């Protein structure tokens, strides 16, 4: 499916905005990036996108498999892996081999990875780094709406909102082309309210900035709902016709009167009232959450509380209004739909649903009973590695948990304790550096496939050129390993579905199989084809048939729940997992910066992207501790420590520090973060833990 031209229309390799770009290969073999006018980015790119092609011919690129750190042939590497997998499974059972995927993998790879784990390895233990990203919003969306699609409306609606409430999102830095929608919204006279413990560039541009104590967004949402109820601003007809559970939610909100919420959150009553009234007065109002609200041990309930607020105001399904979450990773949306989650099969099917198992088994050509049940969630899986009863081998695709996992020092030790660690990557990431086997794989501009952006729009990733000699693809690795393990599925239809044909390394063929596997599921791609995606500037799922349009807007008439109504769930505020105390008197919150992406394995290698760890603190705190801007500081938590230069800024609360999580070594912020998990989504509490800071004395 490679295009012959030396120019292709594709999308950025990084975040979920998936900006349209054109790649051109010059006669000298250099790849140039040009912005492309696509409905989402409208011709914009950020500096990460502009510089993305520099990685294609980067001198640090892996060009050969590595076996115990030494160059090896592909045959040697495959033999070593197959032998290791067999030995571990013979000694400890099938679940002793685990798989860890990533939210940057294409739909084709995410789908194949789930199938590879269940059919080729026959293991229950597969999960992915999206668990650290989207899982709380996903679980809340499923619980309330019966579906998890980040934005249930096209992004263009955001610019049209009269009132926009943005909680825990700093799009001005994380996805700058998105920020133009916010600018437009303000220029149209709209009210924009940003909730963030930091006065980020996004917050500073807003009409109103609410700066709560870290970990109190749930109380804030309940307080807003209280005001909406107390002032008679709800939409009673909508609540009666389109929701269930309102009575219990209303009763819970009664306990969150404004003065109490000011005490809990630090947000003044006047600002709470202004926010609630602005939302209620708007013809078109949109509430958006992102990682700041979601990466907590109460992330699901926090999102649920904002969904309840949106439902009380009658927003979801109303033209130009609604609730949505802003997906982070490039294929964070598609990556959570096709089976690389521990509890899930393709099409957002549940792995413990007999009908779902039968459908997928028929497509895969296996017996439904041969598909394992649910496995461990991402952090629990990583924490179990090498432990009694835990996995003894792991294969990693598109992830760098040594940097990105919470409590990272402990997770690094767990990874090192494995009998076999295999990593597929294009650079020697921190995780690849401790692997027994590293397999060099293609980059985004060398492969075809599809991604699903933050709107639920399926997009085409197009290859500009073939991978360099000696470099494989993730799909080819999975197909080869399945073949060598002798476990490709028997190709026999169990319930009359089409033959699976085993594992294909050809993304077009994989997508055709994915369409069949997702048919009838919540995330139904049956009617999406590569040809349609090309012709229609992307297709929004669900799209159950090739002759039916996609679905840009959800919930217009009903919700995909058994009774067609949204479920309102009563939730209560609760404290953070680790409160500050005399020993660790400050909150730490982590996040991203403009020039870097996720674990930094790619962007840290681009010279044009400024980088380096730092710790933000308020001038009052800095003065008290004798810290000047630029001084080296040490931040300590009960899990570990990091050192980095201080950045003394007035944009942060005096009781809070901020550190970006892109860096490794002594600058690794995840050395500090804790492992408290949300009871439903199993999301770690990345956004708040207790720390102290001290100057580093020579």
Q: Which residues bind ligand SF4 (CB under 6 A)?
A: 12, 14-15, 17-19, 41, 45-46, 48-49, 175-177
Q: 531 in the Ramachandran plot: left (φ > 0), alpha (ψ -120 to 50) or beta?
A: alpha
- Taking the complex as a whole, the smallest distance from the CB of residue 88 to ligand SF4 amounts, in Å, to 38
- Residues 6+ positions from 9 with CB-CB distance below 8 Å: 20, 21, 22, 36, 462
130-140: burial string, b at 16+ Cβ within 10 Å, e else:
bbbbbbbbbbb
- Taking the complex as a whole, the smallest distance from the CB of residue 184 to ligand SF4 amounts, in Å, to 16
Q: Which residue has the tokens 């002759």?
A: 547
Classify strands 632-636 and 641-648 as parallel, antiparallel or unpaired: antiparallel
Compute the distance between CA of residue 626 and CA of residue 525 in angstroms, rounded to an integer: 58
Q: Residue 155 or 554: which CB sits closer to ligand SF4? A: 155
- Taking the complex as a whole, the smallest distance from the CB of residue 13 to ligand SF4 amounts, in Å, to 7
- Taking the complex as a whole, the smallest distance from the CB of residue 324 to ligand SF4 amounts, in Å, to 17
Q: Residue 529 or 598: which CB sits closer to ligand SF4? A: 598
Q: Which residue has the tokens 């009973």?
A: 369
Nearest partner of 178 among 302, 328, 333, 23, judged by Cα: 328
- Taking the complex as a whole, the smallest distance from the CB of residue 480 to ligand SF4 amounts, in Å, to 31
Q: Residue 106 or 191: which CB sits closer to ligand SF4? A: 106
Q: Residue 114 or 330: which CB sits closer to ligand SF4? A: 330
Q: Residue 36 or 115: which CB sits closer to ligand SF4? A: 36
Compute the distance between CA of residue 638 and CA of residue 690 in angstroms, rounded to an integer: 8
Q: Residue 49 or 114: which CB sits closer to ligand SF4? A: 49
Say if residues 246 and 568 touch (Cβ distance below 8 Å): yes
Compute the distance between CA of residue 375 and CA of residue 142 in angstroms, rounded to an integer: 19
Query: Is residue 87 classed as helix, strand or coil in its secondary structure?
Result: helix
- Taking the complex as a whole, the smallest distance from the CB of residue 11 to ligand SF4 amounts, in Å, to 7
Indicate the Cα dihedral angle 69, 74, 79, 81, nearest 10°. Answer: 60
- Taking the complex as a whole, the smallest distance from the CB of residue 48 to ligand SF4 amounts, in Å, to 4
Compute the distance between CA of residue 660 and CA of residue 356 in angstroms, rounded to an integer: 40
- Taking the complex as a whole, the smallest distance from the CB of residue 596 to ligand SF4 amounts, in Å, to 10
Q: Residue 177 or 611: which CB sits closer to ligand SF4? A: 177
Q: Residue 13 or 497: which CB sits closer to ligand SF4? A: 13
Compute the distance between CA of residue 53 and CA of residue 685 in angstroms, rounded to an integer: 34
Say if residues 190 and 73 touch (Cβ distance below 8 Å): no
Q: Which residue has the tokens 């592909």?
A: 74
Q: Where are the beta strands (DSSP E) in 553-599?
A: 566-567, 586-591
- Taking the complex as a whole, the smallest distance from the CB of residue 40 to ligand SF4 amounts, in Å, to 8
Q: Residue 178 or 306: which CB sits closer to ligand SF4? A: 178
Burial class (CB in 10 A: 0-12, 13-18, 19+), 79: middle
Q: Residue 41 or 504: which CB sits closer to ligand SF4? A: 41
Q: Where are the beta strands (DSSP E) in 340-432?
A: 344-345, 349-350, 393-397, 420-425
Q: Which residue has the tokens 């804030």?
A: 220
End-to-end CA distance of the chain: 58
Residue number of the CB closest to ligand SF4 reads 49
Nearest partner of 551 among 538, 561, 562, judged by Cα: 538
Q: Residue 47 or 483: which CB sits closer to ligand SF4? A: 47
Q: Where are the beta strands (DSSP E) in 534-650?
A: 539-540, 566-567, 586-591, 615-617, 632-636, 641-648
- Taking the complex as a whole, the smallest distance from the CB of residue 141 to ligand SF4 amounts, in Å, to 22
Phi and psi angles of residue 661, each rounded to the nearest 5 degrees, phi first: -100, 15
Burial class (CB in 10 A: 0-12, 13-18, 19+), 310: buried
At 432, list the tokens. 């690849």
- Taking the complex as a whole, the smallest distance from the CB of residue 608 to ligand SF4 amounts, in Å, to 14
- Taking the complex as a whole, the smallest distance from the CB of residue 16 to ligand SF4 amounts, in Å, to 7
- Taking the complex as a whole, the smallest distance from the CB of residue 538 to ligand SF4 amounts, in Å, to 14
Q: Residue 49 or 440: which CB sits closer to ligand SF4? A: 49
Nearest partner of 287 among 262, 342, 324, judged by Cα: 324
Q: Residue 328 or 372: which CB sits closer to ligand SF4? A: 328
DSSP 295-317: SSTTHHHHHHHHHHHHHHTT-TT
- Taking the complex as a whole, the smallest distance from the CB of residue 294 to ligand SF4 amounts, in Å, to 19
Burial class (CB in 10 A: 0-12, 13-18, 19+), 328: buried
Total Cβ atoms within 10 A of residue 531? 10
Q: Which helix (H) or strand (E) holds 409?
A: helix 408-416
At 164, list the tokens. 């926009």
Q: Residue 175 or 418: which CB sits closer to ligand SF4? A: 175
Nearest partner of 142 among 291, 343, 315, judged by Cα: 343
- Taking the complex as a whole, the smallest distance from the CB of residue 136 to ligand SF4 amounts, in Å, to 21
Q: Residue 246 or 426: which CB sits closer to ligand SF4? A: 426
Q: Residue 127 or 173: which CB sits closer to ligand SF4? A: 173
Compute the distance between CA of residue 133 and CA of residue 328 in angstroms, rounded to an integer: 7
- Taking the complex as a whole, the smallest distance from the CB of residue 50 to ligand SF4 amounts, in Å, to 7
Compute the distance between CA of residue 507 and CA of residue 138 in angstroms, rounded to an integer: 26
Q: Residue 73 or 537: which CB sits closer to ligand SF4? A: 537
Say if residues 165 and 271 touch (Cβ distance below 8 Å): no
Compute the distance between CA of residue 455 and CA of residue 327 in angstroms, rounded to an integer: 9
Say if residues 134 and 325 touch (Cβ distance below 8 Å): yes
């Amino acid at each position: 499916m490679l295009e012959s031209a030396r120019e292709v229309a594709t999308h950025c390799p990084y975040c979920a905005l998936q900006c349209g770009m054109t790649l051109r290969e010059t006669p000298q073999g250099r790849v140039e990036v040009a912005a492309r006018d696509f409905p989402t980015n409208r011709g914009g790119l950020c500096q990460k996108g502009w510089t993305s092609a520099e990685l294609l011919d980067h001198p640090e690129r892996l060009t050969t498999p590595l076996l115990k750190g030494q160059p090896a042939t592909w045959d040697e590497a495959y033999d070593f892996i197959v032998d290791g997998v067999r030995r571990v499974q013979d000694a400890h059972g099938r679940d002793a081999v685990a798989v860890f995927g990533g939210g940057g993998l294409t739909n084709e790879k995410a789908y194949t990875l789930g199938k590879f784990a269940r059919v080729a390895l026959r293991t229950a233990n597969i999960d992915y780094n999206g668990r650290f990203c989207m899982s709380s919003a996903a679980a809340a969306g499923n619980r309330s709406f019966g579906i998890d699609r980040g934005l249930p409306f096209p992004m263009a609606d955001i610019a049209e909102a009269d009132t926009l409430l943005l909680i825990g999102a700093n799009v001005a830095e994380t996805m700058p082309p998105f920020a133009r929608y916010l600018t437009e919204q303000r220029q149209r006279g709209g009210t924009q309210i940003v909730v963030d413990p930091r006065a980020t560039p996004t917050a500073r541009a807003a009409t109103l900035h609410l700066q709560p104590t870290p970990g109190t967004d749930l109380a804030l949402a309940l307080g807003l709902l209280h005001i909406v109820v107390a002032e008679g601003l709800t939409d009673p007809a909508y609540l009666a016709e389109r929701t269930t559970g309102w009575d219990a939610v209303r009763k819970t909100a009664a306990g969150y009167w404004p003065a109490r919420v000011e005490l809990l959150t630090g947000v003044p009553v006047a600002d709470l009232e202004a926010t609630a009234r602005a939302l209620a007065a708007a013809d078109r109002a949109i509430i958006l959450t992102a990682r700041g609200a979601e990466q907590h041990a109460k992330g699901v309930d926090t999102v649920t509380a904002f969904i309840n607020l949106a439902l009380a105001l009658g927003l979801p399904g109303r033209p130009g209004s609604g609730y949505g979450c802003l997906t982070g990773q490039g294929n964070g949306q598609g990556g959570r739909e096709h089976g690389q989650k521990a509890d899930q099969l393709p099409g957002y099917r549940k792995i413990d649903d007999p009908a779902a198992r039968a459908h997928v088994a028929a497509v895969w050509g296996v017996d439904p009973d041969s598909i394992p049940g649910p496995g461990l969630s991402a952090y629990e899986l990583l924490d179990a590695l090498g432990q009694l009863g835990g996995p003894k081998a792991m294969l990693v695709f598109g992830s760098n948990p040594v940097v990105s996992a919470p409590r990272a020092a402990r997770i690094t030790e767990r990874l090192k304790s494995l009998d076999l660690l295999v990593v597929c990557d294009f650079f020697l990431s921190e995780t690849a550096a401790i692997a027994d086997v590293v397999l060099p794989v293609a980059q985004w501009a060398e492969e075809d496939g599809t991604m699903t952006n933050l709107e639920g729009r399926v997009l085409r990733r197009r290859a500009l050129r073939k991978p360099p000699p000696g470099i494989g693809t993730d799909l080819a690795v999975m197909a080869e390993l399945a073949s060598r393990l002798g476990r490709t599925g028997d190709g026999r239809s169990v319930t009359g579905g089409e033959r699976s044909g085993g594992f294909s390394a050809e993304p077009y063929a994989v997508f055709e199989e994915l369409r069949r596997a997702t048919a009838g599921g919540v995330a139904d791609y049956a009617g999406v084809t590569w040809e349609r995606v090309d012709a229609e500037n992307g297709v929004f799922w669900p799209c159950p048939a090739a002759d039916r349009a996609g679905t840009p807007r959800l919930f217009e008439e009903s919700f995909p729940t058994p009774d067609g109504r949204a479920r309102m769930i009563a939730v209560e505020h609760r404290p953070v997992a680790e409160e500050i105390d005399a020993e660790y008197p400050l909150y730490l919150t982590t996040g991203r910066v403009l020039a870097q992406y996720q674990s930094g394995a790619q962007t840290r290698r681009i010279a044009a992207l400024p980088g380096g760890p730092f710790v933000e603190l308020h001038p009052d705190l800095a003065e008290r501790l004798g810290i000047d801007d630029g001084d080296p500081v040490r931040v300590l938590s009960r899990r570990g420590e990091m050192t980095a230069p201080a950045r003394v800024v007035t944009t942060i609360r005096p009781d809070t520090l901020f550190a970006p999580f892109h860096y490794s070594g002594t600058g690794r912020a995840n050395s500090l973060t804790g492992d408290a998990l949300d009871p439903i989504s199993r999301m770690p509490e990345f956004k708040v833990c207790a720390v102290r800071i001290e100057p580093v004395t020579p």
